[in-house]
Structure 1
Amino acid sequence: MVCLSCQIVVQYELERIGLTVIKVNAGGVEILEPVSTDQMQKFWVALIKAGLELMDDKKNILVEKIVSAISEMIQHPEGMKINFSDYLSGKLNLDYTYLANVFSETQRIAIEHYIIINKIKRVKQLICNNELNLTEISWKLNYSSVAHLSTQFKKVTGITPSYYKHITCKGSLQFEMCEL
């Protein structure tokens, strides 16, 4: 349950079957009373209908928490001058090597590559928002330099950030203007 809409669906469905929800967050739910087998079955069906699934495997739950923490750090990195390994191990109170091994085992991608791919997705968003230049984006996402960001961007996408902006962001702006 990484996204807010997933959390809202989960809370709604739990309340709909008569449970008192204390807290819903990424990777977990706290409810006031015990859950009957019938309630659990109804909840399970409601989640499937909503396109969600209930995770009861500890490794998958941990991976969901890792994904949520990575997303949080990429979306809101302001003031976080800490590397991902320290952030994840501190946030989840587990050794980073263990976290990386569980993640790689279940997701079939190294946690470092997952982080890089998602940072580049964020860079793309920020480029198209056109509010920050590359220097500001590199600083915001804790890159050591614009050159480091650009090199990583090109390795992942095959094109430079400036070319990406030229072909993607400006093209969509022109398309939107033509529609008006």
Structure 2
Amino acid sequence: MNTLFVKNMVCNRCIMVVQHELDKLGIAAKSVKLGEVSLTDELSVEQKDALKQALNPLGFELIDDKKSRTIEKIKNIIIDLVHHRDNDAKTNLSDVLSDRLNHDYNYLSNLFSEVEGTTIEKYFIAQKIEKVKELLVYDELSLSEIAYRLNYSSVAYLSNQFKKVTGLSPSHFKQIREDKRKPLDKV
């Protein structure tokens, strides 16, 4: 097994932290990306245990079973689409997931719902709303620019979805900024 799957890697900082832990343990990696580490050599049982012990206190977890790896891949694709590829996903989310994971969307959707207790669509919306919150706090873009960046069909649709999820209108949220953002892995 030259690929490890790591749960809760959601940003570039997570990648740097995991890379740092690998370096500290003397484990050579070809690449470290969201949720996945490609190793140059196979790990011994001792190395794998040491890595688990190093990552767990930092909020990361090595994933061994296939279902959990698939769920983590779904989450990482959605996080990447929403938080790192502004306005890049003009295509249907179900098509993106099916293409990238080589599985039928119905299988992915049922698996996600079974394991996570929510739908892929709700998770996707939650990520988009967190991105909207972030962009509102930065105060650099208008609501219409945010709607365009996140592929909403209109400002009204974004506002309605935002209010449905947060209980606040985007303008009210902006006024009371003390609403703390959730870490991406808690969405």
- Which of these residues, 68, 73, 96, is aligned with residue 65 of structure 1? 73
Superposed CA deviations along residues 113-166 of structure 1, whole A, max 9, x for unmatched, are: 111111111111112221111111111111111111111111111121122222
Q: Mind listing any 5+ residue stretches in structure 2 that lack a counterpart?
A: 1-8, 180-187
Show CA shifts across 1:57-97 (max 9, x none): 21111111111111111122324311211222222222211
Q: Contact between 1:44 and 1:53, CA under 8 Å: does it hold in 2? A: yes
1:161-176 counterparts in 2 under 5 A? 161-168=170-177
Deviates more, 1:59-68 or 1:87-96: 87-96
Aligned Cα root-mean-square deviation (Å): 2.1
Q: Normalized against structure 2, the TM-score is what?
A: 0.82
**Residue 125 and residue 6 in structure 1: after superposition, are their counterparts in 2 closer, same or farther (change >3 A)?**
closer
2:164 to 155, 170, 178: 155
SS at match of 2:176: helix
Q: TM-score, normalised by structure 1?
A: 0.85
Query: Is the 1:10–1:47 Cα contact (8 Å) retained in structure 2?
Result: yes
Distance 2:35 2:88 in 1: 25
Identical amino acids, percent of aligned pairs: 46
Q: Give the deviation of 1:5 after TM superposition.
A: 2.7
Task: Find the aligned partners of 2:176 and 2:59 in 1 and give their Cα distance.
Answer: 34
Q: Partner amino acid for 1:70? A: I
- Larger-gyration structure (1/2): 1
Matched, 1:112 2:143: no
> For 1:9-56, what per-residue CA distance to the aligned partner results, in whole angstroms no more than 9, with x for missing partners?
322222333322111112221111221122122112112233321111
Distance in 1 (CA, whole Å) between partners of 2:57 and 2:131 is: 30
| Equivalent pairs, count | 171
Query: When you count strand as a share of all residues, which structure comes out higher?
Result: 2
Partner in structure 1 of residue 40 of structure 2: 32
Alignment of 1:6-155 (within 5 A): 6-75=14-83, 76-155=85-164
Q: What stretches of structure 1 of length at least 5 have no aligned partner?
A: 172-180
Quote the offset at 1:100 in angstroms: 1.2
Distance 1:84-1:37 versus aligned 2 partners, 3 A rule: same
